[in-house]
C-alpha cells in the first residue's frame, strides 16, 4: 500500500510517499522562510499562493524520487487542519482532485496527529501507551496516548505556544525570522546563571502552560541591560533554560499523573537540543524512555502526513468529493483506530 502525503498547513510545502512494506520512499520539502522573512512572520495570502506554485512540481519530484507513476499510488492523504485556511485549501483541493483522477481514496489528516506519529517513522518507534508533548510554533500540549486516535488532553498553553514565545523573544533580541532556532544557537554562547527567568505556572498544580509572560520578562530584561552580544547571549540562555525547565517539569507531572513510562515529543521545538538533553536526562532518572523524530521530521513535512494517512486508511477513513478543511480542529475529535 503506497500513500502520497501532502502537507500545506502553513509555510512549508511537504510531499512524501510512504509504503507499508518499504517504508518512506520519497520525501520532498520546500520552505517559504525566505518569502516571509521580510515581513517578520507568515503572510497567509503569500503562503497560499506559494503552495499553489510548489505542490504539483513537488508531487512530480516525489514520484520521480520513488521511481513510481500515478498508477502506483493507492491513496492520497492531505492535511485537513488545523492551520491557515487558505493554505489548507490548496493541499486539500489538489489532494482530493488527484484522488478523484486516479480513482483512489482521499484521506484527510489531522496536522497534530501527523506530528504525534512522526516518531513512528524511526527505527525504534514508541509503543503505546505514552505521554506526548506536542510543542511547536502554534501548539504546546500534553496528551495521554493509549492508541491511534485515543488521545486525552492533559494540559495546554493558555496563551503563547512555546515556539511562538521563542520567535517573539528572538525578535526582541534583533534576530531574523524565524528566530527560534537562532535564539537557541545564540543561547549556546550564553553564561548560565547571569539572568534568572521565572518558570511560569510551575508553582501551582496542573498541566497547563503560559509563555507570554516570559516574553514580557525578556523584553524588560533587554531594556534594562547593555545591548552587547554577550549580554544578549546570556539573556537567550536564561530564556531557553526557563522554557526547557518548564516543559520538563510539566512532562514529569504528566508522567506521574498517568503512570506511563514512555514520553514522546513532537513538533518543531522538539528539535531543540537543550530540550532533548533535558528530557533524556529526566527519563533516564525515572527509568523510562523518551522518543522523538529526526530533526527534519520535527518541523512540518509530508512524511508524517503520508504515514498518518496510511494508518487512517487502514481504519477505513476516506473523504467524498467535497473539500473540507478545519482551521481549528481538536485532537479529541478524532476517532480511535
pLDDT at 314 over 90: no
273, 308: one domain: no
- Give per-residue pLDDT as tens, 57-108: 999 999 999 999 999 999 999 999 999 999 999 999 999 999 999 999 999 9
252, 223: one domain: yes
Residues annotated within the binding site are 111, 115, 134-138, 167, 180, 272, 300
Is cis: bond before 178, omega within 30 of 0?
A: yes
- Give per-residue pLDDT as tens, 251-279: 999 999 999 999 999 999 999 999 999 99
Q: Which letter does DSSP use for residue 269 in this model?
A: G
CA-to-CA separations, 80 to 28, 35, 324, in angstroms, rounded: 19, 23, 7
205, 223: one domain: yes
pLDDT at 316 over 90: no
138, 266: one domain: yes
For residue 220, is it within any domain? yes
Q: Count other Cβ atoms within 10 Å, centred on residue 141.
A: 24
Using CA of residue 19, residue 21, residue 25, residue 31, what is the dihedral sign? positive
Percent of the chain whose pLDDT exceeds 90: 93
24, 75: one domain: yes
For residue 152, is it within any domain? yes
Domain extent at residue 107: 2-117+298-333
CB 118 within 8 A of CB 293: yes
33, 82: one domain: yes
152, 267: one domain: yes
Residues annotated within the binding site for substrate are 134-138, 167, 180, 272
33, 104: one domain: yes
pLDDT at 291 over 90: yes
Tell me what the mean pLDDT of segment 285-304 comes to.
97
177, 32: one domain: no
Output the pLDDT for position 322: 80
75, 204: one domain: no
172, 319: one domain: no
Calpha distance 162→30 (Å, rounded): 24
283, 325: one domain: no
pLDDT at 250 over 80: yes
Residues annotated within the binding site for Fe cation are 111, 115, 300
Query: What CATH number is given to the structural domain containing 324?
Result: 3.30.420.40
**Domain tally, the chain:** 2
Please name which of 237, 245, 242 lies closest in space to residue 194, comparing C-alpha atoms. 237
pLDDT at 318 over 80: no
Burial class (CB in 10 A: 0-12, 13-18, 19+), 38: exposed
Q: What is the pTM of this model?
A: 0.95
For residue 122, is it within any domain? no
For residue 123, is it within any domain? no
Tell me what the mean pLDDT of segment 221-247 comes to.
97
For residue 153, is it within any domain? yes
Amino acid at each position: 500500500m503506497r500513500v502520497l502525503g501532502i502537507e500545506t498547513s502553513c509555510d512549508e510545502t511537504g510531499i512524501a510517499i510512504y509504503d507499508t512494506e518499504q517504508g518512506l520512499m520519497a520525501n520532498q520539502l520546500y520552505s517559504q522562510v525566505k518569502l516571509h522573512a521580510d515581513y517578520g512572520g507568515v503572510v497567509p495570502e503569500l503562503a497560499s499562493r506559494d503552495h499553489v506554485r510548489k505542490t504539483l512540481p513537488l508531487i512530480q519530484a516525489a514520484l520521480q524520487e520513488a521511481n513510481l507513476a500515478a498508477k502506483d499510488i493507492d491513496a492520497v492523504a492531505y492535511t485537513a487542519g488545523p492551520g491557515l485556511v487558505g493554505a489548507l485549501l490548496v493541499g486539500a483541493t489538489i489532494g482530493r482532485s488527484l484522488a478523484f483522477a486516479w480513482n483512489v481514496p482521499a484521506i484527510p489528516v489531522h496536522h497534530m496527529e501527523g506530528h504525534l506519529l512522526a516518531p513512528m517513522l524511526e527505527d525504534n518507534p514508541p509503543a503505546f501507551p505514552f505521554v506526548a508533548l506536542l510543542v511547536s510554533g502554534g501548539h504546546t500540549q500534553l496528551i495521554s496516548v493509549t492508541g491511534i486516535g485515543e488521545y486525552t488532553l492533559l494540559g495546554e498553553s493558555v496563551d503563547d505556544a512555546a515556539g511562538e514565545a521563542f520567535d517573539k523573544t528572538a525578535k526582541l533580541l534583533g534576530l531574523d525570522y524565524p528566530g527560534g532556532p537562532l535564539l537557541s544557537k545564540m543561547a549556546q554562547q550564553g553564561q548560565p546563571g547571569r539572568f534568572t527567568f521565572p518558570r511560569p505556572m510551575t508553582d501551582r498544580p496542573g498541566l497547563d502552560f503560559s509563555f507570554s509572560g516570559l516574553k514580557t520578562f525578556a523584553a524588560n530584561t533587554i531594556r534594562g541591560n547593555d545591548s552587547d552580544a554577550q549580554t544578549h547571549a546570556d539573556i537567550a540562555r536564561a530564556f531557553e533554560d526557563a522554557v526547557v525547565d518548564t516543559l520538563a517539569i510539566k512532562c514529569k507531572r504528566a508522567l506521574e499523573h498517568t503512570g506511563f513510562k514512555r514520553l514522546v515529543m513532537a513538533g518543531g521545538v522538539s528539535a531543540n537540543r537543550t530540550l532533548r538533553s533535558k528530557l533524556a536526562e529526566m527519563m533516564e532518572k525515572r527509568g523510562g524512555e523518551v522518543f522523538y523524530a529526526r530533526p527534519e521530521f520535527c518541523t512540518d513535512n509530508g512524511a508524517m502526513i503520508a504515514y498518518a494517512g496510511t494508518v487512517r486508511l487502514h481504519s477505513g477513513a476516506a473523504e467524498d468529493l467535497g473539500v473540507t478543511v478545519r482551521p481549528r480542529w481538536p485532537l479529541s475529535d478524532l476517532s480511535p483506530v
